[in-house]
Structures are given as C-alpha cells and as structure tokens.
C-alpha cells in the first residue's frame, strides 16, 4: 500500500484518480473542496494550494498535481493578469507542492511525481495562448526534474485533449459543440476522466519503472494524425 498525495482530487480528472487508487493505497487529497467519496483509505485536507500552507504528511511515495485552467480568449482580450493566474495555478502550485514534499518523496517506495499538461502545448490552437504557455512550462519542468531527480524519483506528465469534466463544460455545453469536438479528433471521440485516471495509475505504478521525463499525449489522434 502506497502513500499517495493528490492535489486537486475533489473534481474532474483528479477525482477519477482518487477513485482509481483509493482501494489499494492510502490517499491524501488536498483541495479547497472535499470529495464526495468517503473511504477508510482517504484523508482530506481543505487547502488552497496557492495561498495556504500545505499540510504535514508523514510519508509520501507518489505526488500527483491535478489543478489546471482553461482560459480561452483572443490575445487582444487576455490581460497580463490572466497569464499570471494561469501560470500560478499550473506551474507555481506544482513547484510549491514538489518543494514541500520532495524530502519525503526521496525516502519513498519507488517514488514518482505526475503532472498535467495539455495537447495545446504541442498543437497550435487559437485562443489558447495563456494556458498553452503555462502548460508548456509544466512540460519543461517535467523534463528538467526528471533529469535532476533521477534515479530516485520518476517524473512524468499527461497531456490530455478535451476531457468531459466541469472544467471543460463550456466546450461541451450543447450537442453541436460536442459533435464538432468529436469530429475534430481522428478517433472520433474525446476523453472521459476515467481514461486519464487509468493512465495516471499506470505511470505512478512500478509497471512504469523505466519511464521518466515523458509527456504522454492522450490526444484521440488530434496531435498525432492528419486525416
């Protein structure tokens, strides 16, 4: 049984990861709101990762940082504050968590860190300037820390395409938008949180012991294929 810290596990992809891992691991969720799930293996800490002190935890084997943002506007309508806010939640929050828990991770059992990017960091998409810039920094952080912390701690990231979560609700708010997004992807689908959670479970398991510094595109073909 591993000790897994999940930041942002109350909703969306983070919540799906909690549900996947809770049966066989001791999970510590850190988020502003409490997950609906109750389980003997789950400990929740109400905390804003950007403004509050992160809780003290005795032992950690895996750190998963899930918070993100989808702030889609033309560059002419994006303010500098928008860029700062997206960078704070996507990058600074992750760095804060890693720095806080790194000493514990170094003593962990096959320790690993998992971060989240987006397909927009690889595929040029209109109106994604702020989030793509922030998530590109996450990808750089993943590779740099993967090298720095080898061979002790593995560091990887998942870059999902549109995923059916509350965060993406504006992109999937009616049947026409759902149809358009589905058709844009060569596999004629987009993601559900459980698919991403399954990849997260694999990457933080010992089955992925040889994988570090990698960005995994869960893209339904939109980055990889031109059809």
- Could you give the domains of the chain? 3-163+192-218 (3.40.50.720)
Distance CA 49, CA 47 (A): 6
Distance CA 41, CA 73 (A): 41
The helix-helix angle for 80-87 and 129-149 (nearest 10°) equals 30
Counting residues of the chain whose pLDDT is more than 70, the rounded percentage is 100
Mean of pLDDT values over 15-28? 97
Distance CA 199, CA 216 (A): 9
Distance CA 105, CA 2 (A): 11
Q: Are 15 and 193 in contact (CB under 8 A)?
A: yes
Reference 140, options 215, 49, 65; nearest CA is: 215
Instruction: Give 61-86 pLDDT, tens digit per residue.
Output: 999 999 988 889 999 999 999 999 99
Instruction: Give 108-155 pLDDT, tens digit per residue.
Output: 999 999 999 999 999 999 999 999 999 999 999 999 999 999 999 999
- The overall average pLDDT reported for the chain is 95
Q: How confident is the model at residue 183 (pLDDT cuts 50, 70, 90)?
A: very high
């Amino acid at each position: 049984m591993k000790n897994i810290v999940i930041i942002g596990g109350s909703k969306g992809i983070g919540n799906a990861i909690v549900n996947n891992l809770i049966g066989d691991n001791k999970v510590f969720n850190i988020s502003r709101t409490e997950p609906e799930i109750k389980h003997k293996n789950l400990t929740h800490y109400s905390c804003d990762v950007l403004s509050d002190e992160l809780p003290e935890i005795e032992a950690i084997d895996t750190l998963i940082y899930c918070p993100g943002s989808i702030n889609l506007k033309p560059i002419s309508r994006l303010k500098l504050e928008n860029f700062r806010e997206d960078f704070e939640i996507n990058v600074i929050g992750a760095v804060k968590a890693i720095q806080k828990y790194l000493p514990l991770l170094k003593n962990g059992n096959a320790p690993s860190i998992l971060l989240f990017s987006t397909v927009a960091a690889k595929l040029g998409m209109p109106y994604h300037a702020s989030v793509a810039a922030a998530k590109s920094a996450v990808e750089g952080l993943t590779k740099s820390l993967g090298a720095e912390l080898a061979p002790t701690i593995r560091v990887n990231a998942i870059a999902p395409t549109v995923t059916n979560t509350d965060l993406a609700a504006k992109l999937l708010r009616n049947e026409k938008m759902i149809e358009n997004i589905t058709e844009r992807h060569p596999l004629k689908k987009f993601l559900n949180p459980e698919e991403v959670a399954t990849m997260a479970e694999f990457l933080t398991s010992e089955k992925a012991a040889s994988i570090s510094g990698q960005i995994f595109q869960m893209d339904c073909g939109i980055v990889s294929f031109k059809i």
